[in-house]
């Protein structure tokens, strides 16, 4: 078995990803190409194979930042991205090649965003989980499984004249304006608008924006994409002053209905810190936690800098960011967040 670095898109690699239940949109070669075109980060698409048979892939992105150093990530702007393989031996050869590359490029560490842990001895982070709700072809089957409290909140939104629409590029400005407003309130630097535009343009059949409106005003928004029968809600926000009308509940339900009818088998509410309020919200929908096993190879453990906004060293920065004017957070945030991949 050997490992090569794929230089362009190939049907064999795409077919391998498409037929792997543990693969996601970020495992496709096109995701790394998109990130390179946007930010200039060099991408390495490692393919383990014997003859012409693909046995595993590992996408890596080389990120150099004055804020967070020289590192590799698999994969940026995604909750997932570690190796996907059809045999255990492929993990070993992909890992060895990744370490070889990291050493050649003087990287301080590699971040493997695994769903399942790799067997190699590495620093392991397990404080995050994705919350998964099983779907059905008939949305009413899912509705019947929801807690009465959740159904009541959805009905409250419907009775409060909250409407939901979905689409693509034509809804991007509404989504981005609300999302960046909420990120500023939370003290989190926002990604640039062009990232979301690039996802919509690169994966137009997979990505969808959902908006909840009240009297013509966008009060909740969600950016989601479909990959291998799983709908993944990667980014979302709602205005706190409308919480009493429950627009976020109706928005999630509308997305669940949409993906049931689209043939999705799972609805991934996205990554949350275990035990957080977001985690609890998703749990109330009946979603089950799938622990993420992010692992770190380090050239020297002293170089490892895992970014956690709730860490003592970052809390004061979050509080300062919350107090900045929206015009500043929208202009400076994308510059900072390009390193927060």
Choice among 140-149, 248-257, 269-278 with the minimum mean pLDDT: 269-278
Q: Three-state DSSP class for 192?
A: coil
Q: Show the tokens assigned to 59.
A: 């996408």
- Asked if the model's pLDDT at residue 314 lies above 90, the reply is no
Residue 230: other Cβ atoms inside 10 A = 21
Choice among 14-23, 37-46, 125-134, 300-309 with the minimum mean pLDDT: 300-309
Find all residues with CB under 8 Å of 281, minimum gap 6, and list them.
Answer: none
pLDDT tens-digit series, residues 48-89: 999 889 999 999 999 998 777 899 999 999 999 999 999 999
> DSSP assignment of 141-153, as one string?
HHHHHS-HHHHHH
* 266 alpha carbon, distance to own chain's centre: 15
Distance CA 14, CA 228 (A): 12
Q: Which helix (H) or strand (E) holds 270?
A: strand 266-273
What does pTM read for this prediction?
0.91
CATH number belonging to domain 2-120: 3.40.630.30
CATH superfamily for 129-290 is Gcn5-related N-acetyltransferase (GNAT) (3.40.630.30)
Residue extents of the structural domains in the chain: 2-120, 129-290
- Asked if the model's pLDDT at residue 310 lies above 60, the reply is no
Identify the band that residue 291 occupies on the pLDDT scale cut at 50, 70 and 90: very high
Matching residue, tokens 């940026």 = 76
pLDDT tens-digit series, residues 172-182: 999 999 999 99
The reply to whether 129-290 shares the fold of 2-120 is yes
């Amino acid at each position: 078995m050997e490992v090569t670095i794929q230089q362009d898109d190939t049907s064999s690699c795409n077919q391998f990803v498409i037929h792997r239940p543990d693969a996601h949109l970020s495992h496709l070669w096109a995701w790394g190409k998109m990130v390179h075109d946007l930010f200039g980060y060099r991408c390495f698409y490692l393919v383990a194979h014997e003859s012409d048979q693909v046995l595993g892939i590992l996408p890596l992105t080389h990120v150099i930042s004055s804020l967070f150093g020289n590192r590799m990530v698999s994969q940026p702007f995604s909750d997932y991205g570690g190796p996907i393989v059809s045999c255990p031996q492929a993990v070993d050869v992909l890992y060895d090649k990744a370490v070889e590359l990291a050493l050649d490029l003087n990287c301080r560490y590699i971040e493997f965003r695994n769903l399942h842990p790799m067997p190699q001895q590495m620093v392991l982070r397990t404080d995050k989980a994705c919350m998964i709700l099983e779907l059905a072809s008939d949305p009413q089957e899912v509705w019947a499984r929801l807690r009465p409290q959740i159904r009541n909140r959805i009905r409250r939104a419907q009775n409060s004249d909250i409407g939901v629409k979905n689409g693509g590029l034509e809804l991007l400005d509404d989504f981005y304006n609300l999302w960046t407003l909420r990120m500023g309130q939370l003290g989190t630097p926002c990604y640039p608008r062009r990232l979301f535009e690039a996802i919509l343009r690169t994966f137009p059949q997979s990505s969808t924006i959902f908006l909840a409106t009240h009297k013509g005003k966008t009060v909740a928004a969600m950016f989601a994409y479909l990959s291998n029968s799983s709908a993944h809600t990667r980014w979302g926000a709602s205005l706190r002053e409308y919480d009493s009308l429950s627009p976020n509940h109706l928005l999630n339900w509308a997305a669940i209905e949409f993906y049931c009818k689209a043939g999705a088998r799972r609805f991934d509410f996205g990554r949350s810190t275990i035990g957080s309020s977001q985690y609890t919200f998703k749990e109330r929908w009946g979603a089950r936690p799938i622990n993420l096993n992010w692992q770190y190879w380090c050239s020297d453990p002293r170089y490892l800098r895992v970014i956690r906004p709730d860490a003592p060293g970052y809390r004061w920065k979050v509080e300062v960011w919350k107090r900045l004017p929206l015009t500043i957070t929208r202009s400076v945030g994308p510059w900072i967040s390009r390193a927060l991949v």
